[in-house]
């Protein structure tokens, strides 16, 4: 996954100044960007990516937009930086399931916006 492309315009320095709606939009953009990167590679997410992106979607659904963004960053970690024991024990979600979850979480997260 191309971490640079996903986080290219991420507003690190001004994150705290963003409204809740803007933070939500960024979290959705990052999760969607990661899923698109995986889809464009012609592959399904591996277990690590699947787990982290599912966590990102769950964080989005509960209004934890900064944490959702961090989970996308974790999903993009190189294989050498991942716990192999953890990966072996983690169930995997399909790309389509993650996209469906993102759509539902995005709708539900509206209640946390200004």
- pLDDT value of residue 37: 93
Contact 47, 92 (CB under 8 A): yes
The stretch 86-114 carries a mean pLDDT of 87
| pLDDT-derived band at 4, boundaries 50, 70, 90 | confident
The reported pLDDT for the residue numbered 114 is 65
Give the residue extent of every domain in the chain: 19-112
Report H helices in the chain. 3-6, 20-40, 47-61, 65-75, 84-88, 95-108
CA distance 105 to 114: 17
Coil, strand or helix: which one is 11? Answer: coil
Q: Whole-prediction pTM value?
A: 0.90
pLDDT mean across residues, the chain? 90
Ranking 5-14, 22-31, 67-76 by mean pLDDT, the lowest is 5-14
Q: Each residue of 25-72: pLDDT tens digit?
A: 999 999 999 999 999 999 999 989 999 999 999 999 999 999 999 999
Please state, in angstroms and rounded to a whole number, the distance separating the CA atoms of residues 54 and 83: 17
């Amino acid at each position: 996954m191309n971490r640079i492309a996903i986080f290219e315009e991420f507003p690190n320095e001004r994150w705290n100044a963003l409204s809740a709606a803007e933070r939500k939009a960024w979290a959705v953009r990052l999760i969607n960007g990661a899923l698109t990167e995986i889809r464009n590679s012609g592959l399904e997410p591996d277990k690590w990516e699947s787990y982290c992106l599912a966590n990102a979607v769950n964080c989005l659904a509960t209004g934890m937009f900064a944490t959702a963004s961090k989970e996308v960053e974790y999903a993009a970690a190189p294989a050498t930086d991942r716990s192999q024991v953890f990966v072996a024990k983690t169930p995997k979600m399909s790309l389509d399931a993650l996209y469906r979850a993102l759509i539902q979480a995005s709708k539900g997260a509206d209640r946390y916006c200004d």
